[in-house]
Structure 1
Amino acid sequence: MALALPAAATSAPVRQPDTTPAKPHPFDDDWTEKVLDADQNFRGLEAVSKKEAWVTGESLTDGGPATVFRTTDRGQTWTDVSPDDTAGLSFRDVEVNGKVAHVLAIGPGEASRIYRSTDGGESWTIAFQNEDEAAFYDCMAFYPGGQKGLAVSDPVDGKLRILATDDRGRTWTVLSNAGMPASADEYGFAASGDCLVTAGKAAFLITGGAKSRVLRSDDRGLTWTDVESGIPEGPAAGGFAGAFASPRRGIAVGGDFGEKPVLEDNVAYTRDGRTWTGGITLTHVGEDVTFIRGWKLAVATGDYRGSVGTSLTRDGGATWTRVSDLGYHVVDCVAKVCWAAGSKGRVGRG
């Protein structure tokens, strides 16, 4: 039996369901992965372009060499451009600005050092070597343009220590700690090299340990303000990494590197660069995070004790969707292409 409709209804167009496919994101087809050196644990990464990326690592064999790899053909081939004499070192951060590349080795005393190359990694000089046994450098970041940069050490004399350069990394100077808040048993995690990041003229420190905070400097590292991130602190827990689309909009991720890791509330975000909203949970540890474009779309990843995966946010960190069961220690995106690197020499491109 036909159903008689009112005249107005018969003349109005019928609304059809929206069948337009959702706008794709970089992980619709998951990561494309390859192994460069199964003896390496990669925790440093710089995505220079769609074609070029650098990764840095440490040997899984005691006393083995730390390495630097570079690709300029979209990851099809990778070249070992490591400095000489890196046995026993741990490369955790790499920063590339134009033709100048810097690699940070972490560790106590002289193990902490910064290598510098101006020729694509063909040759290296040691621009800085730590001489203070109490210092342990974790992360490094440069301001836009690469003229000025900072590195951070775990607390020395009760405060995080800041190292600075204003000549493109040729020389480095330890800054006064007068403007740094006290930081007993608080530190930056060298999980991905992104516990120290910059955005415009601002620099941010993501910390964990006895306190889980975000510290901000607007004067090139001389003075810092601090606020709790909302990510739970602990002996091996807190914020591990941060990313900022601007000095006002950022995301911090973290978790717990303990024997029984706790993952709840391991994400926080800010809309003003000074106050943070927490209580957000990934389904995996958050070792690193990066924006893909704008301030809404970002990706977080992690790989620790079975807590492995990659997740995507479309609203600046407020909500997350798991997009891959592959996880890495570090991720970086440029021009809508994302690169990642992690355990057992793995690199990914999405």
Structure 2
Amino acid sequence: MIARLARYRRTVRTAAVATPVAVVALVAAMVYGDDRTPQLSTSTATGPMELPDEWMTAQRMSDGRTELSAETYAAAHTTARNIELRTRSMYRHLAGLEWEFFGPSDIGGRVVDIAIDPQVDDQIFVAAASGGVWRSSDAGMTYETAWPDDWVQGMGSVAMTTDGVLFAGTGEAQPGGGSITFGGDGIYRSLDRGETWEHVGLADSHAIARFAVDPSDQDRIFAAAAGNLFVPGGERGVYLTEDGGDTWDRVLAPLNETTGATEVLIDPTNPDRVYAAMWDHRREPHQRTYGGPGSSLWRSDDGGATWERMTDGLPTDPDQGRWGLALAPSNPDRLYAYVGTALGPFRAFYRSDDGGDSWQQTPVTASGASQSTFSWWFGKLFVDPQDPDHVFLTGVDLRESTNGAMSFEISEGPHADQHKLAWDPKVPNRVYLGNDGGMYRSDTNGASESWSKATYEPYTQFYSVDVAETDTDLKVGGAQDNGCNRGYNGVGGGWDAIGCGDGLQVIIHPENPAIVFGCSQYGSCYRSENSGSPPRQNFGTGQTTSERRNWFTPLQFDPSDPDVMYYAGNRLNRSTDNGRTWTAISPDLTDGGPNDPNGYPWGTITAVAAAPTDGDTIYAGTDDGNLWWTDDLGGTWNEVDAGQLPGTWVTRIAVSPADEDVAYVTFSGFRSGSDRPHVMVTQDGGVTWTNIGQGLPDAPVNSIVPTPDGLLLAGTDVGVFVSAWNGGEWAALGTDLPNAPVMYMRYHETDRQLSVATFGRGIYQVDVPTCRGTSTRLPLREPGVGVGGALVSCRP
């Protein structure tokens, strides 16, 4: 310990003697010039940032980048596949492990589009936002995957022609609600209802928001390409294929490089008349611009050859956000539209009775539209095919009008945040609904309280997972817009909601699985002695000391004492009575900003880890790139020299189960050609840190676990990888894990079981083989070289 402190004094500073130097304090207010020189941005933020989108996006752009391209993710996926192929030949015992879906199947997750099979009764296809395409053959009650697990899982749209050809548009077009709008790589086509797929174009579209099939010619299909949320340009606007998807031509170009198409509609009685909605939007690290001069409505009367902007009665100023647009199939001259402001709130609702020649504003108000402050999250309208006055408006609630949009009432019953309605033409009054809670069906035309929820839909977006030490069949997790959840019924068993808004950190007491802690966004947590059910003791603001709290506020047990817990805002809080009372044991460990009220609330602790072998040793990392350690239980906090670190968001810290001086830290963001590390290790208690992530895909690493016998497990946006404690050679772990981001991992030492929380495909688990190599201090090797030139040896 004395030697370690002596080394520390030569290389790092203590909080007691100096104010931390900003590592990336201004990162969220920077853009880069062509020479990559940091420059202060002169632009002004254009809207509030209140949704988890900001949390996920801020992580991945925390190095100050101004773009997050599809190419970046594509390169990471390619590297991941190459690692998997190499693993199969070199480490068959690791590659051959089989991941098992634990659950849940009864919660669901965000569904953004629905296609009804015109030939097969009761069969539909749905697009899960970050979970691929799914098929139901029982009128929407249960689902099976219709999309390859190892392909991109981000989805925007699905459509089916009358002769059974299925199209999928990859990349989500809704920028918010827990996703960073995971992009796609274009349009895919299936001739066998999702059994096989082929890529047919628009690889640089990033997000396909809508298809429209010409009812008179099934080979003639329009696609609305929303474009990359982060990078201007690319394939944006309305595209048309006249050969069933073999080739695509842009027929409506956007007004500028940040505008894309979000709607395209065809008049069923006159297929030469086509309508489109365009949306001007861009996301940057420090701001979002979700409206502008490119937002507009358009009409073509010659099948898409030429277009005219609709303006009579509609606003023409630049304060236009996302437009929702729909026509009445039974009276195509009846059109409905609404628009938000560039800041996000609902602006106005419009109706046309002459095919868009003129528009009149209706009395619908912001409260009546249920848009909250984020109309850009919805942008959809739907009209009953049989009744032009019967209209549904998507929002937090589902709103229904029976008087031609003069007023709306809530259609009660479904989950919040609505995205898609579709009527089954073969079954009168049957309508399907997709929202953040999954899939619903009404057989009474969407009447209030008539919605039945699907019973099997395994595509939930999870932030976290925990496992009871007493029984691996007892799991809990936090889900995007689906609360805290308890799965205490084993593999495939039912799950129960146990409170929370968005579910974030959820943990189980190490010795008593009846004691469960659950957290909503920004550290609003509870303690339950009834397995998460009431009664619950709430804590967070008021019980803990912090000025700022992260969307995903860390809450952890001390592995050496189950009655000791840690809760982190911008200060670390400690409880010695199992979460009943709390005391701050650190100063502000962040650089404190920037904290523009219109921006992400930078300056929070994002990762905490106490050493299993020494309860006085704690490590903590922040969103603004700082890393700290204490070996006297917070008496003195020591900041790691910023020059050793990448300066990006710290996602997770793990301490060796055998040595408090050995710890691992993971980082979000991308390298983009630099040598910025994703995984680092210290072997001297935090004084010096070494990059051991060479060979991993260039993608965010979200979780890290060192096993007692020498393995190091890393969960990333593109899969789970394994190496020795000192890194070096990395291999893919197991097969059949869907390629959704792995947000959190939990390793059960007794049963050697690894559980992972995926953002879009639920909770998976795998049994890890016993390995040889239990040295507490493995020598560091050259990059790319593991222990003895290979991984530690594991028995199959």
Give unmatched runs, 5+ long, in structure 2: 1-89, 110-459, 594-601, 767-796
**Alignment correspondent of 1:309:** 719
The change in CA–CA distance for 1:134 and 1:316 in structure 2 (over 3 A counts) is: same
**Alignment correspondent of 1:145:** 561
Offset of 1:182 from its aligned partner?
A: 5.5
Give, as a single letter, the amino acid of the residue that structure 1 aligns with 2:520.
A
**Alignment correspondent of 1:167:** 577
**Alignment correspondent of 2:49:** none
Instruction: Provide Cα deviations, 1:112-153, integer angstroms capped at 9, x if missing partner.
Output: 222112232333413413148942142122212212211111
Query: Equivalents in 2 of 1:256, 1:78: separation in Å?
Result: 36
Offset of 1:256 from its aligned partner?
A: 1.0
**Alignment correspondent of 1:31:** 99
Partner secondary structure for residue 97 of structure 1: coil
Instruction: Provide Cα deviations, 1:199-246, integer angstroms capped at 9, x if missing partner.
Output: 13121112342xx3321123333431121474422xxx3321111123
Query: Equivalents in 1 of 2:573, 2:530: separation in Å?
Result: 24
Instruction: Provide Cα deviations, 1:60-86, integer angstroms capped at 9, x if missing partner.
Output: 4xxxx412223353x342431513xx3
Query: Equivalents in 2 of 1:302, 1:114: separation in Å?
Result: 26
The counterpart of 1:332, out of the listed 746, 765, 769, is: 746
**Alignment correspondent of 1:156:** none
Q: Within the alignment, does 1:136 sit opposite 2:549 as a pair?
A: yes
The change in CA–CA distance for 1:221 and 1:55 in structure 2 (over 3 A counts) is: farther
The change in CA–CA distance for 1:316 and 1:38 in structure 2 (over 3 A counts) is: farther
Partner secondary structure for residue 727 of structure 2: coil
The change in CA–CA distance for 1:317 and 1:96 in structure 2 (over 3 A counts) is: farther
Please tell me whether the aligned partners of residues 148 and 165 of structure 1 are also in contact (alpha carbons under 8 angstroms): yes
The counterpart of 1:94, out of the listed 469, 483, 507, is: 507
Q: Which has the higher strand share?
A: 1
The change in CA–CA distance for 1:203 and 1:321 in structure 2 (over 3 A counts) is: same
Q: TM-score, normalised by structure 1?
A: 0.72
Please tell me whether the aligned partners of residues 517 and 532 of structure 2 are also in contact (alpha carbons under 8 angstroms): no
Offset of 1:97 from its aligned partner?
A: 2.5
Please tell me whether the aligned partners of residues 228 and 276 of structure 1 are also in contact (alpha carbons under 8 angstroms): no
Partner secondary structure for residue 273 of structure 1: coil
Q: Within the alignment, does 1:70 sit opposite 2:487 as a pair?
A: yes
**Alignment correspondent of 1:216:** 629
Partner secondary structure for residue 556 of structure 2: strand
**Alignment correspondent of 2:759:** 343
The change in CA–CA distance for 1:207 and 1:133 in structure 2 (over 3 A counts) is: closer
Please tell me whether the aligned partners of residues 466 and 477 of structure 2 are also in contact (alpha carbons under 8 angstroms): no
Q: Within the alignment, does 1:288 sit opposite 2:703 as a pair?
A: yes
Please tell me whether the aligned partners of residues 548 and 603 of structure 2 are also in contact (alpha carbons under 8 angstroms): no
Task: Report which of the two structures shows the higher radius of gyration computed on alpha carbons.
Answer: 2
The change in CA–CA distance for 1:79 and 1:278 in structure 2 (over 3 A counts) is: same
Query: Equivalents in 1 of 2:489, 2:561: separation in Å?
Result: 21
Give, as a single letter, the amino acid of the residue that structure 2 aligns with 1:38.
G
Partner secondary structure for residue 478 of structure 2: strand
The change in CA–CA distance for 1:280 and 1:302 in structure 2 (over 3 A counts) is: closer
The counterpart of 1:276, out of the listed 677, 682, 689, is: 689
Please tell me whether the aligned partners of residues 332 and 340 of structure 1 are also in contact (alpha carbons under 8 angstroms): yes
The change in CA–CA distance for 1:134 and 1:315 in structure 2 (over 3 A counts) is: closer
The counterpart of 1:106, out of the listed 521, 528, 536, is: 521
Please tell me whether the aligned partners of residues 505 and 555 of structure 2 are also in contact (alpha carbons under 8 angstroms): no
Query: Equivalents in 1 of 2:503, 2:762: separation in Å?
Result: 16
Query: Equivalents in 1 of 2:536, 2:674: separation in Å?
Result: 41
**Alignment correspondent of 2:592:** 184
The change in CA–CA distance for 1:141 and 1:173 in structure 2 (over 3 A counts) is: same
Partner secondary structure for residue 171 of structure 1: coil
RMSD value, Cα: 3.2
Instruction: Provide Cα deviations, 1:31-83, integer angstroms capped at 9, x if missing partner.
Output: 212552332431222233462343322334xxxx412223353x342431513
**Aligned length in residues:** 294
Offset of 1:22 from its aligned partner?
A: 6.7
Please tell me whether the aligned partners of residues 479 and 485 of structure 2 are also in contact (alpha carbons under 8 angstroms): no
Q: TM-score, normalised by structure 2?
A: 0.34
Offset of 1:250 from its aligned partner?
A: 1.8
**Alignment correspondent of 1:9:** none
Give, as a single letter, the amino acid of the residue that structure 1 aligns with 2:747.
C
**Alignment correspondent of 2:653:** 242
Give, as a single letter, the amino acid of the residue that structure 2 aligns with 1:123.
P
Please tell me whether the aligned partners of residues 206 and 213 of structure 1 are also in contact (alpha carbons under 8 angstroms): yes
Give unmatched runs, 5+ long, in structure 1: 1-20, 154-159
Partner secondary structure for residue 661 of structure 2: coil
Please tell me whether the aligned partners of residues 264 and 280 of structure 1 are also in contact (alpha carbons under 8 angstroms): no
Q: Which has the higher helix share?
A: 2
Partner secondary structure for residue 472 of structure 2: coil
Query: Equivalents in 1 of 2:743, 2:572: separation in Å?
Result: 24
Q: Within the alignment, does 1:115 sit opposite 2:526 as a pair?
A: yes
Q: Within the alignment, does 1:51 sit opposite 2:498 as a pair?
A: no
**Alignment correspondent of 1:321:** 731
Query: Equivalents in 1 of 2:561, 2:489: separation in Å?
Result: 21
Query: Equivalents in 2 of 1:339, 1:139: separation in Å?
Result: 18
Greater RCO (Cα-Cα under 8 Å, separation 6 or more): 1
